[in-house]
Amino acid sequence: MKITSIEISVFELPMYPATTQIVPNSSLDDNRWKPAFLEGGDVPVQVMRVFTDEGIDGVCTVGDWRYTEMGWRELAQLREIAIGEDPLDRERLHSKLKAAGRFFESGWFGGFDNCLWDIAGKAAGLPVAKLLGGARERTQAYYNTSGSTADELLNDCEVGLKAGFTVLKDHLAFSFEENIRVFELFRSELGSQVGLMHDAALANYNYEEALAVGRTLEQTNFIWFEEPIDDRDHENNVKLCDLLEIPIAGAETLMHEPEIGELWLKTGAVDILRVNARHGTTPIVSSANFARNLNANVEPNSYGPLFGLVHSHINCGIENIAWFENAPPANGAEMGEQIGLLNPIRPVNGWVTYPDAPGWGAEWDWKQFEKQRVAVL
């Protein structure tokens, strides 16, 4: 089997704007900042299709809901290397593309790698989850809460619980003192049977604040503490992991550099390694194998490529993954349907299953797909 052509379809979908505001940390005056996401706006989303001489094609979004574009130079380089190659020889293609893209953004060919896994599954007549090991038939999802006040957050917690989720994750961005108060409020109001996680990516704690927050999370029985401080502050991340009992999930901003993430895990700077298939499935398999040797988990970040389909297979295929992140974006399934995907992932009673069909199992209305796209590259 040989690759004959590579095509990218471009869509404009309503999501977060392409830019964010950067505002001062509310409780500090030491030049620490945090993002403030704006509402609304259309952004370009790319879907790649890899064709072969045997009539088997691979389809995947270039990214997930973020980092969704491949530039003309990267696409030209991809075509130069990949056309004429065997799509089933993923390791060979991965090594060639990595060498060619030395000065490209790391993980730039992740969407292409995912297309190769789609082709492999279709060629074998198996779902990708089975190719990855078939660890389970379904995976538990957690619900990301939102709200600008404690009351709004609690109300959204109830929305998640009514939808069948039993695990909730917050992204509190108040001061660390206020966040601690809200953690205690969550546990008091929601009871001991609800699983809770804290993602501090928007809080921008310093080391001392993160340590105090971590102690509170331990006392209130949270499942994990995500991104407590800057991923690149290796020394203080090691100290936090050493001093806190609660598992630290992190290296999210290093997901495009799996070797660095693995180094953070090996040296005790994280307990749980965050990954995302927008950088490819092959690196996740490598990182999961690495983590397994350390008795650690990798955990996919966000809804993932192809409107949840890719992460549904990865979560169910790989043994040392525990959770499916349901969002963002909250309207991911609707976005997929808008461009003709008939079976985007929607958790049912807090659980996700993968399509039991070859490859990623995507079902397309190609007429809708062609109607909605605004360009072909």
Tell me how crowded residue 133 is: count the other CB atoms within 10 A of its CB.
Answer: 13
In order of 69, 292, 305, 315, the CA distances from 377 in angstroms are 11, 39, 19, 31
CA angle 353, 358, 362 (to 5 degrees): 65
pLDDT at 158: 96
Query: Per-residue pLDDT averaged across 29-46, rounded?
Result: 72
For residue 295, pLDDT over 70 is answered with: yes
360's tokens:
């990623």
pTM beyond 0.85: the answer is yes
For residue 184, pLDDT over 80 is answered with: yes
Q: For 78-137, what is each residue's pLDDT tens digit? A: 999 999 999 999 999 998 998 888 778 777 899 999 999 999 999 999 999 999 999 999
**Partners of 272 in the β-ladder:** 249, 297
Question: Which comes out higher in pLDDT, residue 376 or 258?
Answer: 376
Helices (H), the chain: 72-82, 90-100, 110-124, 128-131, 150-162, 176-190, 207-219, 234-243, 258-266, 281-292, 309-317, 332-338, 366-372
pLDDT at 218: 98
Query: Per-residue pLDDT averaged across 155-180, rounded?
Result: 96
133's tokens:
């090991």
For residue 346, pLDDT over 90 is answered with: yes
Distance between alpha carbon 327 and the CA centroid of its chain, in Å? 9
24's tokens:
């001062």
- Give the span between the Cα atoms of 195 and 221, in whole angstroms: 8
pLDDT at 17: 61
For residue 277, pLDDT over 90 is answered with: yes
For 216: left if phi > 0, alpha if psi spans -120 to 50, otherwise beta; the answer is: alpha
For residue 310, pLDDT over 90 is answered with: yes
Domains and CATH numbers, the chain: 3-126 (3.30.390.10), 131-358 (3.20.20.120)
Nearest Cα neighbor of 14 from 312, 348, 336 is 336
Query: Per-residue pLDDT averaged across 65-77, rounded?
Result: 83
Pairing of strands 225-226, 195-199: parallel
For residue 28, pLDDT over 60 is answered with: no
Asked whether the beta carbons of 217 and 180 are under 8 A apart, the reply is no
